[in-house]
Structure 1
Amino acid sequence: MWKRVFREAIARQPWSTITSKRWSSTSPTSISAAVDTLLLRSLKEHYLQVSKMNPPPKVNPPPAFSIIKGALDGNGPVLIRTYGNEEIKLSIMRMAYIAPGDGESDGNDEDVNQFFLHVDVSKPGQDKSLHFLCGLYTDALGIHSVSLRPKLDGADFLEDTTTYSGPHFVELDERMRDAFHRFIEERGVNENLFDFLQAWLYVKEHRGLMRWFKTVGTYINENRPAKNLNIFIKGSHKKIHLQAKNRQRCVTSCWYIYLSCVA
């Protein structure tokens, strides 16, 4: 999805105008200033294009789950719930981040319909938790592995690669596989999570992309005259104010209302 936005925008950029012949008689300082200006203009155009993208429909998480405060700004769990004396946390990641394709399937949006779902089941007084790595799709959820791990917090939720992750799930007895599937289904972990997690990840990526354009533009623009600043942002969680060439536009920010949460 984001790849298409970049491809379409890059196709419109005048990169072919930057040739060695054009700059052969120009001072290094002038070349640097011209390249910075061109890059800032490109960043601004991308920023404005992404800001116009329509948000997903309003989606709420399943009733038993709550959104973890600050999840949009971190890399840890997204949803939490209790089940008896257990605490269950869910974290989501696109499969494309782990096993990127060759880009040929981008037009089919397959990457937005395939997720890795990390399910962490912990109990009070226990120093370990039961961890499920699952594949989440629009109409199904499948378990890839089951392991017992030390309790992890925050970003470490996804980064423990040293612990034995257990046997390949397909190698387990069929009755055991069915029992593990029933175990997580009883705790509300199923394909019904897909719509919310898809919308949540879309919002998170959009927010991160907007922030990236802003921070890169600000870095490049450091020590340049203020009049050359093409992008700067003001506001709160409600609005992003864009100022470009003395013209101001307002864009609804972060789409928190579509997820019924406040980060």
Structure 2
Amino acid sequence: MSVLRVVRQFSAPSSRTLSLRSSLISTRARVPAFSRITAAVPATRAPFSVSALRFGEGTTDGDVSAKIAEELAFEKQAAIEGEPEFLKEFKTSGIWTIEDTPGNDEVTIHRKFGNEHIRLIFSIADLQGTEDNLESHEEEGAPEDTESSYPLRCSLTVTKPSVPGALSIDAVCQEGAFVVENVSFYKDSTLATDLTAEADWKRRGTLHRPSGFETLDLSLQEEFEKFLQERGINESLAFFVPEYAQHKEQKEYVDWLGKVKNFIDA
């Protein structure tokens, strides 16, 4: 569900709740008084005359399809046609390469820096927290400020083809900055970069870092931050990541709506 959709949905009254409540009240009102003395009335079995609907031809199909069509129209109207300007500028710079597989919630960007290969991974699944923040702001009457509410977890790896080992850095991207949480070192670069479940399990059982980045000497923390800045892990990228995450989430949601509608209509 897109951020725009959340705002629209939150601002509207809950018609579903009201409908359910009215249904319960009217059901109680319709219960006949003689239903409590059925013991005196001989039981009779009415003939079963309603023919069963075939699978895929439910009475609610049309309503669901119509509601999805309405949602699709809203989302497409809110979407920008073609490639957004911020993405064009990012690609034109030629620094980073984007790997984005439709249907996958993770996005990978990577680049070369000297003899290093740098890879950054983030997930649009973290936008769920953003939607919750928007609802919270609405409830508290706070001004809308979506730009400051995009905390996205990022996984950064730095490898050198000619040297064994890899640096693995966990950070949170928010409000135009990368906040480093951990810096790990793996003797086996494959263990640091492999995205399989088996590799993830091995990483969890390997001692490869101190207790946390904040436990390091302050001067060392500052040098690490300069190290990342020099490699393009900077303010510009920190603004791009959440913007691209929202752009991808919008596309995935529209694609999901279309697929579900086609399935129901088939």
The TM-score bracket by the shorter chain reads 0.5 to 0.7
Instruction: Please state how far the C-alpha of 1:83 moved relative to its aligned partner.
Output: 1.0
> Contact conserved, 1:121 with 1:129, CA < 8 A, in 2?
yes
Kindly provide the amino acid, as one letter, of the partner of residue 4 in structure 1: V
SS of residue matched to 1:29: coil
Aligned-residue Cα RMSD (Å) equals 3.9
Structure 1 residue 221 corresponds to structure 2 residue 240 = no
Instruction: Please state how far the C-alpha of 1:153 moved relative to its aligned partner.
Output: 4.5
Residue aligning to 1:151:
192
The C-alpha deviation readout for 1:103-134, integer Å capped at 9, x for no partner, is: 41365426753322321111115564211112
Structure 1 residue 182 corresponds to structure 2 residue 206 = no
Instruction: Please state how far the C-alpha of 1:187 moved relative to its aligned partner.
Output: 0.7
The C-alpha deviation readout for 1:163-197, integer Å capped at 9, x for no partner, is: 55632111111122112111111111111113322
Kindly provide the amino acid, as one letter, of the partner of residue 152 in structure 1: T
Residue aligning to 2:157:
120
What is the CA–CA distance in structure 1 between the aligned matches of 2:213 and 2:154, rounded to whole Å?
15
Residue aligning to 1:49:
74
> Contact conserved, 1:141 with 1:190, CA < 8 A, in 2?
yes
Residue aligning to 1:105:
137
Instruction: Please state how far the C-alpha of 1:141 moved relative to its aligned partner.
Output: 2.3
Instruction: Evaluate the alpha carbon distance shift between residue 70 and residue 214 of structure 1 in structure 2; reply closer, same or farther with a 3 A threshold.
Output: same
User: Of 63, 73, 96, which residue of structure 2 is paired with 1:38?
Assistant: 63
Residue aligning to 1:204:
248
Instruction: Please state how far the C-alpha of 1:51 moved relative to its aligned partner.
Output: 0.9
Structure 1 residue 29 corresponds to structure 2 residue 53 = yes
User: Of 119, 136, 151, which residue of structure 2 is paired with 1:89?
Assistant: 119
- Greater fraction of residues in helix: 2
Kindly provide the amino acid, as one letter, of the partner of residue 151 in structure 1: A
Residue aligning to 2:36:
none
Instruction: Please state how far the C-alpha of 1:46 moved relative to its aligned partner.
Output: 0.8
Structure 1 residue 132 corresponds to structure 2 residue 162 = no
Instruction: Please state how far the C-alpha of 1:98 moved relative to its aligned partner.
Output: 6.8
What is the CA–CA distance in structure 2 between the aligned matches of 1:36 and 1:14, rounded to whole Å?
21
Instruction: Please state how far the C-alpha of 1:41 moved relative to its aligned partner.
Output: 1.1
Instruction: Please state how far the C-alpha of 1:8 moved relative to its aligned partner.
Output: 5.5
Amino-acid identity (%) = 19
> Contact conserved, 1:144 with 1:169, CA < 8 A, in 2?
yes
Larger CA Rg, structure 1 vs 2: 2
Instruction: Please state how far the C-alpha of 1:34 moved relative to its aligned partner.
Output: 2.2
> Contact conserved, 2:117 with 2:158, CA < 8 A, in 1?
yes
SS of residue matched to 1:207: helix
Which structure 1 residue ranges, 5 or more long, are not aligned?
Answer: 223-263
SS of residue matched to 2:253: helix
Residue aligning to 1:236:
none
Which structure 2 residue ranges, 5 or more long, are not aligned?
Answer: 28-48, 139-143
